Amino acid sequence: MAHDAARDSKDEQLDAVRAVDDDQSLTTQQGVRVDHTDDALTVGERGPTLMEDFHFREKITHFDHERIPERVVHARGAGAYGEFKPYDSWLADYTTAGFLTDPGRTTPVFVRFSTVAGSRGSADTVRDVRGFAVKFYTREGNYDLVGNNFPVFFIQDGVKFPDFVHAVKPEPRNEIPQAASAHDTLWDFVSLQPETLHAIMWLMSDRALPRSYRMMQGFGVHTFRLVDSGGRGTFVKFHWKPKLGTHSLIWDEVQKVAGADPDFNRRDLWDAIEAGDYPEWELGVQLVPESDEFAFDFDLLDATKIIPEEQVPVRPVGKLTLNRNPDNFFAETEQIAFHTANVVPGIDFTNDPLLQARNFSYLDTQLIRLGGPNFAQLPVNRPVAEVHNDQRDGYGQHRVHTSETSYNKNSISGDRPRPGGEGAYTHYAEKVEGAKIRRRSESFKDFYSQPALFWNSMTDVEAEHIVAAYRFELGKVTRHDIRVRVVEQLRHIDLDLARRVAAGIGVPAPTETDRPNHGQRSPALSQITDRVRDVATRKIAILAADGVDGAGLARLVEDLRGRGAVPEVVGLTDGTIRAGAGDDVQADRALPTMASVLYDAVAVPCGPDSAEALGRDGRALHFVAEAYKHAKAVAAFGAGLKVLRAARVGTAYAEGTDPVVDQGVVTTTAHGAELPTAFLDSFADQIADHRCWTRRTDDVAA
């Protein structure tokens, strides 16, 4: 009772202090107010600094210890809070996990997106797999779905994880290259480890260059297990599908974005949430009865394999919405701790050897990153479920435990906390037996069929990008024998792929293969075959200078905003742009600080003086030509057509007010408030296509 009285007294004192300290006065860590923080305490104005200056010592000491070890992988990240809500209760037939089955329940989440290979200071748009990790704060405890934007991983067994990461990281002799896979050690590893080839095919595809985290799929990678109320299991693979569709940048673009805005993806996520354009994904599942475990020509426990959606459809479960940015990047996005073994009743593991290793590795990693075993008490990691256990002390212990016991069983504290009871986690009962061996199952050893499936499923454009990616990456490899070995591996996937890659990297093209391509396809693997068409949140640059058609520009801006797009007026300089007709226009951005690669489309309004000024400006012409080269939608009306001609963009222009659409270029001679609705519709339609992939731009100097 004395302890309770003392605690109540302290709480009252804290309330009293907070009541009067509403001016946010600067204090030390001990709550002592500080009168001056620009100069340390010294003997006279030019004398030595005194160590009795406790504020100086505390401030410097804390600064010296501000950094914590960055993640070995997934160091570069961005995150946000949100919520998940199931559509209905159909999944209750397969799992007791209430957050997946109760449509009346909304579960808070934190999602962290990341690149894998680079350090915290690397650029967002490097060629890399992206992390897609979701922490569900469920009533039954925290559940972490720690996934990627690829459905497969590079290795089959976790014992090889250090080898793969060491190979893809900067080379140890010179710490080069940063956040890149185009170097000898990675491709040496790949050439000797054919299990990597499927994930490498994804890495060479446009999937490794997402336009936005908001336009990126996510996958749980592993085969997990759902468990119903009767203890029966069902194999499951998790999928996240973005509402806006799955879209990518292109290679020339990402390299320039890395210089123009290295924070491109994290800024995009932050800005969308701040603007109320909340990103959304649909959670879906592929379910496989345990009786069908061996019904496939691959092993369900192999993390380098997918279940084609044509064989097992993805069934929708619910919607994820991100609606709040973190208040502090370090405290939340950096300190959040994910762990594949954070599961709740109704979800369990399989014997996937990579998953088993992750179940050890993630917890082990947090101990050094976050300073000890109490990292789950950090606000971003703290569950909404009540926590009661006998774990005590350690670095970062925030709880003041008042129980007289810290062991189980006990009679002193009423035998609390006690195990069991309603809602307790029960592991899936699976019979396991066998000799202790170091040997992988023969069912894991088909390394080529699924990379061939992915290759066969690409459109011509996507295939061209994959070949170009292999050529770029292997072109950076200095050892000729490594290039030869990689092409030899590609020969087993597809002979034409191997020949096309070999032709660009100076190695002999293979003439035959002992493993013909099986010819199977999965249209769901292509980003172009069945894409989502939407202009919402797309960023449109509208180039303008003094003399611009203010009325026409205003109509274009209003129309794009009405469709959910984000138009920005880019002037030759900051400030007000004088309009030749209509109201003057305020520039949102200045051309010297922006680049076409930061936008999804470009428009040039009417205005003879504006068009003349833009046509004389090399930066403006490059801006338009580069957008055209990157297959983006381009539009112009009235005198703005002169800028397109000067930039050598397009070949067919409107000769009247009726809009002309030619290879993603939309034009009309109309201007002012009479800008035709058909022109606006056509421009929006081209933006929704994401890119005009039929456009040939080899002759465009951008």
> Catalytic amino acids?
74, 148
Instruction: Determine contact, residues 587/570, Cβ cutoff 8 Å.
Output: yes
Q: Kindly tell me the sign of the dihedral angle through the C-alpha atoms of 250, 256, 260, 263.
A: positive
* CA angle, residues 613, 619, 622, in degrees to nearest 5: 110
Using DSSP bridges, classify how beta strands 585-586 and 233-242 pair: parallel, antiparallel or unpaired.
unpaired
The three-class DSSP label of residue 272 is helix
Q: Kindly tell me the sign of the dihedral angle through the C-alpha atoms of 132, 137, 138, 143.
A: positive
Instruction: Determine contact, residues 601/627, Cβ cutoff 8 Å.
Output: yes
The three-class DSSP label of residue 570 is strand
Query: Nearest-CA neighbor of 587 among 639, 543, 643?
Result: 543
Euclidean distance between CA atoms 552 and 610, whole angstroms: 13
Euclidean distance between CA atoms 519 and 114, whole angstroms: 34
The kind and range of the H/E element at 16 are: helix 2-20
Using DSSP bridges, classify how beta strands 576-577 and 539-544 pair: parallel, antiparallel or unpaired.
unpaired
Query: Nearest-CA neighbor of 158 among 283, 31, 77, 73?
Result: 73
Pull the structure tokens for residue 352. Answer: 């996937």
Euclidean distance between CA atoms 391 and 403, whole angstroms: 12
How does DSSP classify residue 631?
T
Give me the helix-helix angle, 251-260 and 264-274, nearest 10°: 70
Instruction: Determine contact, residues 427/348, Cβ cutoff 8 Å.
Output: yes
Euclidean distance between CA atoms 283 and 369, whole angstroms: 30
Query: Nearest-CA neighbor of 671 among 641, 637, 643, 642?
Result: 637
Residue 675's contacts (CB-CB under 8 Å, 6 or more residues apart) are: 552, 555, 556, 637, 668
Euclidean distance between CA atoms 619 and 636, whole angstroms: 17
Euclidean distance between CA atoms 209 and 468, whole angstroms: 14
Euclidean distance between CA atoms 504 and 161, whole angstroms: 31
Burial of 57 from C-beta contacts in 10 A (0-12 / 13-18 / 19+): middle
- Other CB atoms within 10 A of residue 310 CB: 12
How does DSSP classify residue 205?
S
Euclidean distance between CA atoms 502 and 132, whole angstroms: 34
| Bridge partners (DSSP) listed for residue 224 | 236
